Amino acid sequence: MIYIDGNNLTIEGVNAVANSMEKVAIAESAYAQIKKSKKSLMKILESGKPVYGVNTGFGSLLNVNVDQKNIVQLQINLIRSHSSGIGDPLDIATVRSIMVIRANTLAKGYSGVSQEMIEFLLFMINENIIPVVPEYGSVGASGDLAPLAHIGLAMMGEGDVFYKGKIQKAFNVFKNFGKEPYRFGEKEGVALINGTSVICGILALELKKSEILIVEAFGSFALSFEGLSGTDKAFSEWALASRPHAGQQIVGKAFRTLFAGSKIVENANKEKVQDAYSLRCAPQVYGSVWDTLEYGRKVLTIEINSATDNPLLMDGDYISTGNFHGEPVAMISDFVAIAMTDFGNIIERRIARIVDTNLSKLPPFLINDYGLNSGYMIPQYTAAALCNVNKTLAHPNSADTIPTSANQEDHVSMGTNAALKLIEINKNVKSIIAIEYLLGAQSLEFKKYEPSRPTAEIYMKIRSIVKPLVTDRPSTGDLLEITKMMDDNQFYEFVLEKANFLK
């Protein structure tokens, strides 16, 4: 059970709810602040003061007053009007991630919502009644309005949900539970949709995936490094410590552990002065990517435990804030996208090197009977194509802004698009890593010296599902098998153990 209180939700907790169906409840400590905030809102409304989005219109309609008798209808109209997304639905895990983060921010107790509203969100999570949320429509400021509105529409029984493997009408699903749809009270509609939870929900999953991909790529690096007879002299502790970036140190330590006892590396240390950058500079590049993810983790953890709607309430006071602006996590989404794109670039350079007989001293395209056979010529093309896609996607969305709501909202973050593109970039990097696993294992078929024990074990894992390439065959099936192993975290868990990574 994950208990939310607005202050202590972790990225691991979000992933547990999203991917492992962990149940969620409000922490006992949060109830008092939730009730206090709701009471504060009602007191302000009784005074007759204008409160943005509660008894006024929205966006550039902020100066239009709404009669007291219509303030509940205002919230219902808001959800309906803002449910304007388009595109394919976000996957169930992503929407679960968004929902738990939104519930956590509301539980922080600055939003004036009822505990019943938060509990209804948690009911949907715990029963796996997941709103259908189109992927496009948010500009990442004024909150993730359109996608979060689709969650609200489902809560009202007017939208669609994923339930038991198919899309159904939310009203019918609630009816089967003997439960009435939720009726939003004062401010609750705007509190739901005015925040950064969609950016954060996507980023919480993709940041974790990025971390896993880096660790998995240690294993593919081990194969190609030994296949290319790399020298590990550049990984010496004192040399790396002379430039004490944290990521560089922990990656270098992992590499030293992975290559300990390798006869291939011992021989290379005697014969080679230095390697090409894609081998020699791996601690610096991998370390920089890891440091980027660590920074992203820090920013994202703050954001998922922040009050991000508007206005916020505290002890009878209310303020129209800018906390809904997605810039902090928009920039992190772009930063991680750039880092993971370059991560794929360095892997592709080793793939290109390993099939080039002039650079690798291995048979052309890793096959003995070349000419008649093309061997692994084309997987490098595939890696190059994926890198090109990533380079196109890596353009920072947060560098753009298009004003909305008749220029009342004249600077936006575009953070949701930044987070969405990271999904595609990570998929492509995963495939590039799978290609390095495939070709790296084949490269060891031609070595006369023994690799390190960890490298040999990684090789045997590959060979348990993929036979050595002797004559041409389609490689797509072999890559899919390796990808399945990655999906099962086989390489991730092995590298964590064998490389003593992060220990």
**pTM metric for this prediction:** 0.96
Here the tokens at position 440 are 């790296």
Q: What is the mean pLDDT of residues 364-374?
A: 98
Q: What is the CATH number of the domain that holds 387?
A: 1.20.200.10
pLDDT at 48: 80
Do 235 and 139 fall within a single domain? no
pLDDT at 142: 84
Phi, psi dihedrals of residue 373, rounded to the nearest 5°: -115, 145
Is 499 a residue whose pLDDT tops 90? Answer: no
Do 173 and 228 fall within a single domain? no
Q: What is the mean pLDDT of residues 142-154?
A: 96
Q: How confident is the model at residue 319 (pLDDT cuts 50, 70, 90)?
A: confident
pLDDT at 422: 98
Measuring CA to CA, which residue among 43, 55, 33 is closest to residue 118?
33
Is 334 a residue whose pLDDT tops 90? Answer: yes
Is 502 a residue whose pLDDT tops 90? Answer: no
Q: How confident is the model at residue 54 (pLDDT cuts 50, 70, 90)?
A: confident
Here the tokens at position 357 are 């007989």
Do 90 and 75 fall within a single domain? yes
Cβ atoms of residues 279 and 223 within 8 Å: no
Do 148 and 284 fall within a single domain? no
Annotation marks residue 163 as catalytic: no
Is 62 a residue whose pLDDT tops 80? Answer: no
| 272: Cα separation from own chain's centroid | 40
pLDDT at 65: 82
Kindly report the average pLDDT of the chain as a whole number: 95
Is 409 a residue whose pLDDT tops 90? Answer: no
Do 161 and 281 fall within a single domain? no
Cis status, amide bond into 396, omega within 30 of 0: no
> What whole-number distance in Å separates Cα of residue 168 and Cα of residue 162?
6
Tally the residues of the chain: 503
Is 144 a residue whose pLDDT tops 80? Answer: yes
**pLDDT single digits (tens) 469-495:** 999 999 999 999 999 999 999 999 999
Q: What is the mean pLDDT of residues 423-427?
A: 98
| 397: Cα separation from own chain's centroid | 16
> What whole-number distance in Å separates Cα of residue 399 and Cα of residue 404?
16
Amino acid at 324: F
Q: What is the mean pLDDT of residues 174-202?
A: 96
Q: Which residue has the higher pLDDT, 62 or 427?
A: 427
Q: What is the CATH number of the domain that holds 10?
A: 1.10.275.10
pLDDT at 408: 84
Start-end of H helices in 89-129 = 92-107, 115-126
Domain boundary (195, 212, 231) is at: 195
Q: How confident is the model at residue 241 (pLDDT cuts 50, 70, 90)?
A: very high
Q: Is position 503 within any domain?
A: no
Is 134 a residue whose pLDDT tops 90? Answer: yes
Q: Is position 358 within any domain?
A: yes
Do 187 and 209 fall within a single domain? no
Do 188 and 234 fall within a single domain? no
Max Cα–Cα distance, the chain, nearest Å: 87
Do 150 and 14 fall within a single domain? yes
Catalytic residue chosen out of the listed positions 31, 52, 295, 449: 52
Q: How confident is the model at residue 357 (pLDDT cuts 50, 70, 90)?
A: very high
Q: Is position 266 within any domain?
A: yes
Domain boundary (195, 225, 243) is at: 195
% of the chain exceeding 70 in pLDDT: 100
pLDDT at 503: 67
> What whole-number distance in Å separates Cα of residue 342 and Cα of residue 439?
20
Q: What is the mean pLDDT of residues 182-189?
A: 95
Q: What is the mean pLDDT of residues 462-468?
A: 97
pLDDT at 43: 87
Do 361 and 396 fall within a single domain? yes
Lowest mean pLDDT of 67-71, 196-200, 378-382, name the range.
Answer: 67-71
Q: What is the mean pLDDT of residues 17-42?
A: 96
The count of structural domains within the chain is: 2
Do 286 and 179 fall within a single domain? no
Q: What is the mean pLDDT of residues 99-104?
A: 98
Is 60 a residue whose pLDDT tops 80? Answer: no
Q: How confident is the model at residue 249 (pLDDT cuts 50, 70, 90)?
A: very high
Do 296 and 184 fall within a single domain? no
**pLDDT single digits (tens) 202-223:** 999 999 999 999 999 999 999 9
Measuring CA to CA, which residue among 95, 117, 82 is closest to residue 193?
82
Sheet with strand 130-131: strands edge to edge: 130-131, 160-163, 166-169
Give whole-number Cα distances, 197 to 37, 89, 116, 119, 311, in Å.
20, 16, 20, 17, 16
Q: How confident is the model at residue 272 (pLDDT cuts 50, 70, 90)?
A: very high
Q: What is the mean pLDDT of residues 434-443?
A: 98
Do 284 and 174 fall within a single domain? no
The boundaries of the domain holding residue 404 are 202-498
The DSSP line for 414-438 is: -HHHHHHHHHHHHHHHHHHHHHHHH
Domain boundary (180, 195, 210) is at: 195
pLDDT at 53: 78
